[in-house]
Amino acid sequence: MQLIESKLPTHIGIIMDGNGRWATKRGLPRNLGHKEGMKAVERTIDALIKFKIKVVTFFAFSTENWKRSKEEIDGIFSLVREYLKTNRDYFNNKGVQVRSMGDLSKFPKDLSSELENVKEETKDNDKLILNLALNYGGRADIVYSVNKLIKSGKKEINEKDILDNLYSEGLAEPDLIIRSSGEQRISNFMIYQGAYSEFYFTKTLWPDFDEKCLKKALVDFQKRDRRYGGIK
């Protein structure tokens, strides 16, 4: 099946679910599932560039993920840190601009400063925006936006004001949200920005996700009739 360039999503959100189950099924510790999940992230970014997608947001760590064991949380942080460290040349050679959304103040200092450095270093790249949702929750995002508006002295706010002040400020709303592993829920991911997103659920566990899975999601997306509440 061919992809039609004019009908591709601009922004794809990805809820990478199933790392733990992938590992448990093999009798491995959960962190090995996340390690394999990181390889799937790398494969997917290659494929996104190949398919000329402009923006991707990965749900890498949610505001609820702090409930996990310290070992697992530290493991995820190490993976993200390592990834950012080793991919500098890749980002610059491929034109990847790294951004993030979420409250970084609770992250280990070395991780947040690594991230800030990469963001600064890649800010002029324009092939693919790689947005990392870290310590992110959709409800916290709305609160963040409204608080910014209150501080600016606004007396009355509208929908666009809230949208423009979310962590995703300046990014297109996600056209497509993909969730792996068979779960069919939004889990507090971009709930404001995703009001009109198309959803694609696949049973594939995240560590097994690859270019073929992404292409399937894109082909499916192209068949959707997006009416935004109107009539065609």
Rule CB under 6 A: choose which of 80, 96, 115, 118 binds ligand FPP.
Answer: 80
Fill in the amino acid letter for 208. D
> Of residues 19, 31, 65, 225, which has the active-site annotation?
65
Q: What is the DSSP letter of 6?
A: G
Q: Confirm or reject binding of residue 127 to ligand FPP (CB under 6 A).
A: no
Neighbours of 121 (CB within 10 A): 14
Tokens encoding 174: 């996600």
Let me know if 17 is a catalytic residue: yes
Nearest distance in Å: CB 108, ligand FPP: 15
Least distance CB 232 / ligand FPP (angstroms): 36
Residue 37 interacting with ligand FPP (CB under 6 A): yes
121: amino acid identity, one letter: E
Which residues are within 8 A (CB) of 119 and not within 5 positions of it... i.e. 6 or more apart?
Answer: 98, 99, 100
Nearer to ligand FPP, 165 or 204 (CB): 204
In angstroms, the CA 72 to CA 43 distance is 23
For ligand FPP, which residue of 12, 38, 178, 214 counts as binding (CB under 6 A)?
Answer: 38
Residue 33 CB, shortest distance to ligand FPP, in Å, is 6
Any alpha helices (H) in 99-210, and if so which ranges?
109-122, 138-151, 159-164
What are the residues binding ligand FPP (CB under 6 A)? 16-21, 34, 37-38, 41, 58, 60, 65, 76, 79-80, 83, 132
Which residues form the catalytic set?
17, 65
